[in-house]
Amino acid sequence: MDLFPQFLANGLVMGVFYALSALGLTLIFGLMRVVNFAHGEFYMLGGVSGWFVTNYLGLDFFSGLIVVAALMAAVGWLVDRFLIERVRGQGEEPGILLTIGLSIFLVNGTLLLVGPAPMKVAGAMAEGPLFFGPIAVTKLRLLAVAVGIALIVGAHLLIRRTRLGAAMRATFQDPMAASLAGIRTGHVYAATFALGCTLAALSGMLLASIYSAQASVGGLISLKSFVVVILGGMGSFAGAIAGGLLLGVAEAMWGGYVSMGMVDVIGFVLVILILLFRPQGLFSIRTERA
C-alpha cells in the first residue's frame, strides 16, 4: 500500500503521453471519419526525427521539438492532400486500407533508412530525481509531462479559440453547410490531419527522450491509442484525455501489484468492460466532439 502514490504518479505520467498521442487519432476520426491505422507510425517518426535533429543536427531539445512539429505538420498536410483526399467521401473501408498501406510503407522506409536499433532523443536536462514526499519523479520526466500538458492545452485553445478551430468544428457538424458558408473544407481536413500527426509525433519525441524510439514501435502505439479513444469515446477531446489517464493508471497499478509482463493486457480488459457497459465510451460522442 505504501507504493500506491508512486504507482499512481507513474500512471498519471504515462497517461499524459497516451492522451497526447490519442488526441490526434480522435481528432482525425471525429472530423474526417478516417480510422488512421498509420497513427502509431507518425508517433514513431516523431521520435526518430527528434533523435536525428538532436544528435545529428546538434539542436537543443526545444529547438528540435519545434523543427519536428513543423516537419510533421508538413508531412501530415501532404499525406492528406495527396493520399487521404483521394478516398474522401468513399466510406471508411478505403481509408482503412490506405492507412494500413501507409503504415507498412513508413515502417519499412524507416527500417531501410535508420535500421531497427533503439534511438534516444537528447533530453533537455539530466535525469536526476525529484522527491515529493513518497513519490520520486525524474526531472526529465517531469519536464516532458509539463510540455505534454502544454501541448494538450494548446490544442484545446486552437480548436476552441481560433478561426481555424471554429472552421474545424463547423466542418465537423455539417461539411456541406460549412462549404456553402465559404469555409474551404479541403484545407480544414488537411489542417486537422496535420494537427493529429503533429500531436502524435511530439508525443513520440517526448517519450523518446525518456525511453527510446524504434522503427517497429508504431503498431503498439496505434493499439494503445485506439484503446484510449474507445475508452473515452470516438471523436471526444475530453474523452481522449480521460481515457489516456485511465489507461496509464490502470497499467501502472496492474504492473505494480499483479504482473509487469502482462501490463499490455489491462487495456484490452478495459475495452471489453467499456463495450459491455458503456459502448459509446466514457464521454459520449453525442455530447462532445473535438
pLDDT surpasses 90 at 258: no
Question: Does residue 6 sit within a domain?
Answer: no
Predicted pLDDT at 2: 76
Predicted pLDDT at 70: 96
Question: Does residue 66 sit within a domain?
Answer: yes
**What global pTM score does this model have?**
0.90
Range of the domain at 28: 13-130+137-216
Predicted pLDDT at 90: 84
Burial class (CB in 10 A: 0-12, 13-18, 19+), 224: buried
- Cβ distance 148 to 14 under 8 Å? no
pLDDT surpasses 90 at 53: yes
pLDDT surpasses 50 at 5: yes
% of the chain exceeding 70 in pLDDT: 97
Question: Does residue 252 sit within a domain?
Answer: no
User: Can you tell me the mean pLDDT for 238-250?
Assistant: 89
Predicted pLDDT at 191: 94
Question: Does residue 282 sit within a domain?
Answer: no
Predicted pLDDT at 289: 46
Question: Does residue 278 sit within a domain?
Answer: no
- How far apart are alpha carbons 43 and 47 in whole angstroms? 7
**Mean of pLDDT over the chain:** 88
**For residues 111-124, b (16+ Cβ closer than 10 Å) or e, as one string?**
eeeeeeeebbbbbb
Predicted pLDDT at 1: 57
Predicted pLDDT at 286: 52
Residue with the larger pLDDT of the pair 1 and 31: 31
Q: How confident is the model at residue 287 (pLDDT cuts 50, 70, 90)?
A: very low
User: Can you tell me the mean pLDDT for 221-241?
Assistant: 86
Predicted pLDDT at 20: 85
pLDDT surpasses 90 at 194: yes
> How many domains, the chain?
1
- How far apart are alpha carbons 233 and 237 in whole angstroms? 9
pLDDT surpasses 60 at 125: yes
Question: Does residue 22 sit within a domain?
Answer: yes
C-alpha cell read off for 277: 457497459
* Count of all residues that appear for the chain in the document: 290
Question: Does residue 113 sit within a domain?
Answer: yes
- Cβ distance 179 to 185 under 8 Å? yes
Q: What is the pLDDT of residues 59-78, one digit of tens each?
A: 999 999 999 999 999 999 99
pLDDT surpasses 90 at 173: no
Question: Does residue 38 sit within a domain?
Answer: yes
Query: Smallest Cα–Cα separation from 199: which of 80, 40, 78?
Result: 40
Residue with the larger pLDDT of the pair 189 and 130: 189
Predicted pLDDT at 141: 87
pLDDT surpasses 60 at 79: yes
